[in-house]
Amino acid sequence: MAKRRTDLGAYQPEIVAGNGLLHRRALLGRGMMLAGAAATGVDGSLTSAAAEPMVDPAWTNAPGSLMLPYQVPSRFEKDVVRAVDNPNNLPRNTRARTPHHLLNGIITPNGLHFTICHGGVPDIDPAQHRLVIHGLVKRPLVFTLEDLARYPKVSRIGFVECGGNSAPLFSNTPIQANVTALHGLASCSEWTGVLLSTLLEETGIDPKAKWIIAEGADSPRLTRSVPVAKALDDAMIAMYQNGERIQPGQGYPMRLWLPGYEGNMNVKYIRRLQLTDQPTMSYYESRTYSQILPDGKAYRFYFLQEVKSFITSPSPGLALKDPGIYEVTGVAYSGTGRITKVMISADGGQSWGEAALQDPVLPKAFTRFRMPWRWNGGPAVLQSRAWDEGGNVQPLRADFVALRGQTSRPPDVGAFPSQHFNAITSWGVSNRGEVNHVYA
Amino acid sequence: MSTRKLALGSAIALVAAGAFAAELPNLGKPITPDDLKAWDITIFPDGTGLPDGNGNSVQGAPIFAAKCAACHGEGATGGVGGALTPGPARASLDGGKSIANFWPYSTTIFDFIRRAMPYNAPHSLTDNEVYALTAYLLNLNRIIGPNDVMNKDSLPKVKLPNAGNFIIRFPERI
């Protein structure tokens, strides 16, 4: 066998960190195959049981079904759905979480984009919808959807993340739940619309304006105060999501999109923008999205979704079957800009190896990372840690909760003890291959 | 100065003056404050935007029982809509944010009730009813007395105990 390896070019997958993390170039075809061979200590051709003889299945011997005007996923994918926490539509807010562990790439399919509504999903007739810009402007104006169709548009890929995403990790003990439950309130799409700065050019801005009160046409008339500086930077009145009109859960027919800013500020069903010299201190900004600190003070106007990453596979519910090579993959993102580096650990942070960042690496968007890992069948703790182009690094959980606090007892998995959790997530792998949420 | 520079200068001046911007469709239609009245409901912490009308807690109690208690519970002790009682002395990561221990501004109570409540019929209350319910919650949270009348002058003067405990996270972004 030693001779065979020599014949193949003496390739040895380079181990870059403890407990089996391999160099990211082992992801390239040949390297991966050989790494697999090395993992089991046998020749590549002997790593799998012999295949069964091939037969033609029924679907190959008969024509297929009717083609739908708007196609839907295969019936075999029926479990790839969002987790909805208010299935009976009780009179309260409802959340639907993205099943990240069942997805791949950087774009969240429209039907799986996370949604939070505080008064149900409104059924808006686009022909009757209006967008008003008024207050400290030179000319208060009303726009229809038809009007906006004629304005110059831009398309940008970017994430939206609820300020409360990952809130279960504020629990003092790790809550056992899957990626959907822990990190499912973030998604990433291509958004197309008119830059808000374009519309403000038409209304003109009074120099006294410092804030824009953004209000939706949903039943709570959800309202947030947005700094004018953000509006002029990269805010968009988004009308398309991944090429089609945005989904009702994302704000049909138009939403405010503030790349990199707390999801709740990205006001859906946007109907009114009031320029003012002061914030309104709405319910959501003064109560819900103000974060209690251990000393009794609280943060206000957090806005920024800071640098973060989590591993989507392996993850709870995706058990490892046999020792050997696995791809450790997940998403990293930052409201500050581009992701510059993601490091992976398989030994609970004792040693780290650099993951491959898959192109495209875009500012304020999901970046898919991948890393080959040889599981030796023993216990492991998988972690990912991201860096962004602003020089920010994803904090260790212990450091993070020392500043931001944690609960004194485990809350319900759906509770929001605080928000803006961006520290490292740890997945513990048992010697049976089960994956659990742990603190390391 | 060249002609081109002059033209550019004029264009900037026009934009600054709110005149039609160059090369945009200019399809926005002007709207008057009168035509916007039904939508222009924002209330600010200094009281700007508060309407005429008034109410006190005694008047608010039966309105709460009739229109709010189904979700918030009798005496606002909680239900599918959550409790609105004073809660613990201090809110923490274990929960318990309340008007008494966390909310910074009394005007937010009026603004949120008027725009979003009751859940099944938002924006259906009269301004007097909203003032009365605001007074009811402020009284329940031991901020004002049962007969204190809330109106556009008195409500912004009601200071909440936790107002001074907030830190702006990224001041450079405002």
Per-residue pLDDT of chain A (440 residues; tens, 9 = 90+): 344 444 444 556 789 999 999 998 877 654 444 444 444 443 444 456 788 999 999 999 999 999 999 999 999 999 999 999 999 999 999 999 999 999 999 999 999 999 999 999 999 999 999 999 999 999 999 999 999 999 999 999 999 999 999 999 999 999 999 999 999 999 999 999 999 999 999 999 999 999 999 999 999 999 999 999 999 999 999 999 999 999 999 999 999 999 999 999 999 999 999 999 999 999 999 999 999 999 999 999 999 999 999 999 999 999 999 999 999 999 999 999 999 999 999 999 999 999 999 999 999 999 999 999 999 999 999 999 999 999 999 999 999 999 999 999 999 999 999 999 999 999 999 999 999 999 99
- Beta-carbon separation of B120 and A229 below 8 A: no
Residue of B nearest to A405 (CA): B93
How many domains are there within chain B? 1
The mean of the pLDDT values for chain B is: 91
For residues B131 and B52, give the distance between their C-alpha atoms in angstroms, rounded to a whole number. 10
Q: Give the model's pLDDT for residue A381.
A: 98
Q: Is residue B28 part of a domain?
A: no
Chain A contact set for B108 (CB, 8 A):
281-283, 286-287
Q: Is residue B34 part of a domain?
A: no
Q: Give the model's pLDDT for residue A358.
A: 98
- Residue carrying the six token digits 């490892």: A320
CB neighbour burial string for A114-139, b if at least 16 within 10 angstroms, e if fewer: bbbbbbbbeebeeeebebbbbbbbbb
Q: Is residue B9 part of a domain?
A: no
- Beta-carbon separation of B116 and A287 below 8 A: no
For residues B138 and B65, give the distance between their C-alpha atoms in angstroms, rounded to a whole number. 16
| Inter-chain Cβ pairs, chain A and chain B, closer than 8 A | 188
What is the percent of chain B with per-residue pLDDT over 70, rounded to a whole number? 87
Q: Is residue B108 part of a domain?
A: yes
- Beta-carbon separation of B169 and A407 below 8 A: no
Residue B173 in contact with partner chain A when CB distance is under 8 A = yes
Residue of B nearest to A92 (CA): B81
Closest alpha carbon to A421 in A308, A313, A316: A308
How close, in Å, is residue A438 to chain B by CA atoms?
A: 20
Closest alpha carbon to A326 in A359, A373, A387: A373
Q: Give the model's pLDDT for residue B46.
A: 98
Tokens of A49: 């049981």
Q: Is A243 left (phi over 0), alpha (psi -120 to 50) or beta?
A: left
CATH number at residue B94: 1.10.760.10
How close, in Å, is residue B2 to chain A by CA atoms?
A: 25
Of B30, B42, B46, which is closest to A141 when you measure between CB atoms?
B30
Q: Is residue B24 part of a domain?
A: no
Residue B36 in contact with partner chain A when CB distance is under 8 A = yes
Q: Is residue B90 part of a domain?
A: yes
Of A90, A203, A287, which is closest to B28 when you measure between CB atoms?
A203
Whether the ω angle into residue A314 lies within 30 degrees of 0, i.e. cis, is: yes
List C-alpha distances in Å: A67 to A64, A70, A72, A110.
9, 9, 10, 20
Of B17, B28, B165, which is closest to A296 when you measure between CB atoms?
B165
Chain A contact set for B91 (CB, 8 A):
292
Chain A contact set for B97 (CB, 8 A):
287, 292
Chain A contact set for B107 (CB, 8 A):
281
Provide the residue count of chain B: 174
- Beta-carbon separation of B105 and A281 below 8 A: yes
Contacts of A53 (CB under 8 A, 6+ apart): none
Which residue range forms the structural domain that includes residue B97?
57-157
- Beta-carbon separation of B36 and A199 below 8 A: no
Q: Is residue B6 part of a domain?
A: no
For residues A427 and A317, give the distance between their C-alpha atoms in angstroms, rounded to a whole number. 11
For residues B99 and B78, give the distance between their C-alpha atoms in angstroms, rounded to a whole number. 14
Name the CATH code of domain A131-299 (choices 3.30.70.3340, 3.90.420.10, 3.30.465.10, 3.30.360.10).
3.90.420.10
Q: What 3-state class would DSSP assign to A313? A: strand
pLDDT per position as a tens digit, B91-109:
999 999 999 999 999 999 9
Residue B37 in contact with partner chain A when CB distance is under 8 A = no
Q: Is residue B33 part of a domain?
A: no
